[in-house]
Amino acid sequence: MVERRVMEGSHAVAHAVRCCEPDVVSAYPITPQTHIVEKISQFVADGDLKSNYMRVESEFSAMSASVGASATGARTFTATASQGLMLMSEVLYNASGLRLPIVMSVANRAMGAPINIWNDHSDSMGVRDAGWIQLYAEDNQEALDMTIQAYKIAENQDVMLPAMVCMDGFILTHTYEPVSIPKKEKVKEFLPEFDPEIKLDPENPLTLGTVGFPSDYMEIRHEQYQAMENARDIMPKVFSEYEEKFGRTQNTLTENYKTEDAEIILVSLGSIMGTIKEAVDELRENGKQVGAIKIKAFRPFPDQELIEGLQNAEAVAVLDKNITLGKKGALYTEMKDTLYSADIKPQMTNYIVGLGGRDIPRQSIKNIVQQTKDDLNNGQTREVRFVDLKEE
């Protein structure tokens, strides 16, 4: 039987971690992530989770402790957000280069300055090339499910890469929703104990993290590249196995929503997809041929799924909760790269939305659709548009 309860997103992730039984949890607080590691500490104190819970002095230490523990073959977990993710950024690359399948929750929050504790995707997009798998949750149930799935993907011997599960700060972390919590025994059947082929062991000494001379460095990076490509193939299999075990359909790297006959397709990731789907429903009631595609995995990037999903679209509106200064939104630039070598050439517009927690009502989504339609009819005049920007 599955236990169904109403809880905030942070606690849903904590329950997922409890079911995965990591050997080591390294914790340092930062808003809006703190509730995740607080709840896990309660599980440990109550005896519901038998993990080595390490309170460290910074995010740099949190990731360093995770690297050390994972190198010995321990299943590890940590969580962070925003500036905390930046402080551990040096070690993120080490975790990936050492092929350590650490799982981390990122409660997405804007980057300072100015100081801002609310949501956008500037933090995780800033480390998109650190060699980590990146998953983005639409709601609290997905945040729970993706945390369990992330271990299964990351610990696959053909992958062995760290994974971050991104969930929108406050919008998901502090919002209460109904969540189905799987039984720990069922999760054990899905996720066996972690037993890596290579690990630090006093009985069989070896060295990890040595210098990579020019004669070998490129080969090491190529192996990482290939591991991420392997993840692209393994993820749908993991999603399908999860669906079979727990009954929730999540078997692709993207989710298409009413795209079959859509003239205009909205593409984005994270919690904004709930608002987008509601806007699509209302627009369809008024005869608009609109659909949406949700990106669930940003790394590896779902190139083929997007090409197939956009086959019939005349125009694509890409909604980014981040901005690469001097360029465009990260999702938009990745999608243009994907479609450059494809046979389809829809009109594409990048809409920058919700930076620093700015609210994104349904009407703003409808306005985006109307603007995209106008550009389609009259000829596109601007490639990047900031949505709901104050004029004064």
Q: Domain containing 335 — which CATH number?
A: 3.40.50.920
**Domain end point (choices 246, 274, 298):** 246
Does 352 fall in a domain?
yes
- 58 and 187 share one domain: yes
Helix (H) or strand (E) run with residue 176 in it = strand 176-181
Coil, helix or strand at residue 385: strand
- 222 and 307 share one domain: no
Q: Which residue has the tokens 């500490």?
A: 41
Question: Which whole-number Å values give the CA distances from 191 to 140, 150, 242, 259, 336, in the listed order?
Answer: 20, 10, 10, 34, 36
Does 349 fall in a domain?
yes
Q: Which residue has the tokens 């977990």?
A: 77
Q: Which residue has the tokens 């989504």?
A: 365
**Domain end point (choices 220, 246, 272):** 246
Contacts of residue 244, Cβ cutoff 8 Å, sequence gap at least 6:
none
- 270 and 237 share one domain: no
The tokens for 260 are: 């079959």
- 368 and 264 share one domain: yes
DSSP 147-172: HHHHHHHHTSTTT---EEEEEETTTT
53 close to 25: Cβ distance less than 8 angstroms: yes
Q: What's the burial of 198, exposed, middle or buried (CB within 10 Å: 0-12/13-18/19+)? A: middle
Q: Which residue has the tokens 């200064």?
A: 325
Contacts of residue 365, Cβ cutoff 8 Å, sequence gap at least 6:
266, 275, 276, 279
The tokens for 98 are: 């050492």
Contacts of residue 8, Cβ cutoff 8 Å, sequence gap at least 6:
35, 140, 173, 174, 175, 176
Does 391 fall in a domain?
no
**Domain end point (choices 227, 246, 265):** 246
- 212 and 263 share one domain: no
- 331 and 291 share one domain: yes
Does 392 fall in a domain?
no
| Residue 283 domain boundaries | 254-386
Question: Which whole-number Å values give the CA distances from 161 to 23, 25, 190, in the listed order?
Answer: 18, 18, 19
Quote the pLDDT of residue 308.
Answer: 96
328 close to 383: Cβ distance less than 8 angstroms: yes
- 216 and 335 share one domain: no
Lowest mean pLDDT among 95-109, 177-191, 246-260: 246-260
- 265 and 311 share one domain: yes
Does 104 fall in a domain?
yes
Mean pLDDT score of the chain, rounded to an integer?
96
- 44 and 125 share one domain: yes
Taking the C-alpha atoms of residue 153 and residue 233, their distance in angstroms, rounded to an integer, is 10
pLDDT digits (tens, 9 = 90+) for 43-61: 999 999 999 999 999 999 9
- 181 and 32 share one domain: yes
CA geometry: angle 88, 350, 174, nearest 5 deg: 50
Task: Check which CATH number belongs to the domain holding 188 and give it.
Answer: 3.40.50.970
Quote the pLDDT of residue 248.
Answer: 83
Taking the C-alpha atoms of residue 357 and residue 373, their distance in angstroms, rounded to an integer, is 27
Could you tell me the pLDDT band of residue 249, with boundaries at 50, 70 and 90?
confident
- 139 and 233 share one domain: yes
Does 366 fall in a domain?
yes
- 343 and 231 share one domain: no
Name the phi and psi angles at 185, rounded to 5. Answer: -65, -40
Quote the pLDDT of residue 381.
Answer: 85
Tell me the sheet residues that pair with 180.
4
Taking the C-alpha atoms of residue 374 and residue 371, their distance in angstroms, rounded to an integer, is 5
Taking the C-alpha atoms of residue 110 and residue 306, their distance in angstroms, rounded to an integer, is 27
Does 60 fall in a domain?
yes
Does 336 fall in a domain?
yes
* Percent of the chain surpassing pLDDT 70: 99
Taking the C-alpha atoms of residue 67 and residue 276, their distance in angstroms, rounded to an integer, is 38
Number of domains into which the chain is organized: 2
Quote the pLDDT of residue 213.
Answer: 96
pLDDT digits (tens, 9 = 90+) for 114-140: 999 999 999 999 999 999 999 999 999
What is the total residue count of the chain? 392
